[in-house]
Amino acid sequence: MSLLDVAAAAGIHALSVPTPFAVGRVNCYLIEDEPLTLIDTGPNSGKSLDELEQALAAHGHSIEELGLIVITHQHMDHLGLVEILARRSGADVAALDLLEPYLADFRSSVIADDEFSQRIMRRHGIPADLATVLGAVGAAFRAFGSRADVTRPLRDGDSLSLTDRTLQALHRPGHSPSDTVFWDPEREILIAGDHLLGHISSNPLVSRPLQRDRGDGSRPRALITYMDSMLATRELPAKLVLPGHGAPITDLRGLIDERLRLHRRRARKILGILRPRPMTAYEIALEMWGNVAVTQAYLTLSEVLGHLDLLLRDELVRERDDNGISVFEAVA
């Protein structure tokens, strides 16, 4: 029996939906329970909607039968169809309470996200022309997202009670500020969104804090937050993890331990790059990966900044201002 068969025996079916993004297809999860529940929706595109409808039909269901739509986090490949699905089905929409105002005015939220990203890019050495191109790419992608009225806001630790199961909502920020995983303690199954992926490490993106989590104005330490979230997830006795992309995971603790080792190794590599001379985060990214695709530039910058935050925390690196640009140098 395959791992997806194990999930299906528990009434959970993976519905693979196409996306226009480099990550590829996204896993939505249909839970055959009362109410009929869909976790994540795929992006707002005709192709994604068509394939989602076909996948539902293959299990004997339609969009109109949905009673509950659950959103794991704020990224467009996971929530883009939510407004269409909720309107057609009349389903409740459940999401982290911090996402309620974000999704209610999605357009303003993603514009504010883009403005935040522009400030981060310019602060950390990405040339103005490249930052402008990245801003245009971000604006083009907005159409794949969607607003939503969250009718069932969830706080960390809240339960979603279906007829035959209870799912505990656990806030696990890092990949995004709103990452939420759903834990079924009876079946020992974790529906993880992008918090954990088996085939690639989740990008801890430097993201604008959510409305009620503004912080003190300093740069969000996304990787440190993500590592803390992984350590919390590591305590769950999960036998099966259903991720937002790729195949199911069975060795939760082994995967998390490997991810933590990866981040420590990468931090040491960045420290070695900095030993000869001070550099900006963008210069470090170029040293590590060379010229990358324009759409990946902010991902690589976030990756570098996350590992620099580890080095700053351990007092192995210091950050100084050089005419509005952050420069990092190794501590002798």
Q: What are the domain boundaries of the chain? A: 3-105+145-261
Mean pLDDT of 51-78: 98
Residue 1 has a pLDDT of 66
What pTM value is reported for the model?
0.95
Lowest mean pLDDT among 258-267, 277-286, 289-298: 289-298
Mean pLDDT of 3-16: 88
Residue 9 confidence class, pLDDT cut points 50, 70, 90: confident
The share of the chain scoring above pLDDT 70, in percent, equals 97
Nearest to 281 by CA among 116, 123, 174, 131: 123
Kindly report the average pLDDT of the chain as a whole number: 94
- With a cut of 90, say whether residue 157 has pLDDT above it: yes
User: Greater confidence, 64 or 202?
Assistant: 64
- With a cut of 60, say whether residue 212 has pLDDT above it: no
- With a cut of 60, say whether residue 252 has pLDDT above it: yes
Residue 331 has a pLDDT of 94
Residue 74 has a pLDDT of 97
- With a cut of 70, say whether residue 80 has pLDDT above it: yes
Residue 332 has a pLDDT of 80
User: Which residue, chain included where needed, has tokens 């990946």?
Assistant: 296
Q: What architecture is domain 3-105+145-261?
A: 4-Layer Sandwich (3.60)
- With a cut of 80, say whether residue 213 has pLDDT above it: no
Task: Write the pLDDT tens digit of every residue in 85-141.
Answer: 999 999 999 999 999 999 999 999 999 999 999 999 999 999 988 888 888 888 888
- With a cut of 70, say whether residue 211 has pLDDT above it: no
Task: Write the pLDDT tens digit of every residue in 31-43.
Answer: 999 999 999 999 9
Residue 100 has a pLDDT of 96
Residue 53 confidence class, pLDDT cut points 50, 70, 90: very high
- With a cut of 90, say whether residue 6 has pLDDT above it: no
Give the tokens for residue 288. Answer: 């590590």
Mean pLDDT of 147-154: 97
Burial class from Cβ neighbours inside 10 Å (0-12, 13-18, 19+) for residue 198 reads middle
230: amino acid identity, one letter: M
Mean pLDDT of 191-198: 97
- Exposure b/e, 254-274, CB count within 10 A at least 16 = b: ebbeebeeebeebbeebbebb
- With a cut of 70, say whether residue 217 has pLDDT above it: no
- Exposure b/e, 65-103, CB count within 10 A at least 16 = b: ebebbbbbbbbbbbbbbbbebbeebebbbbbbbbbbebb
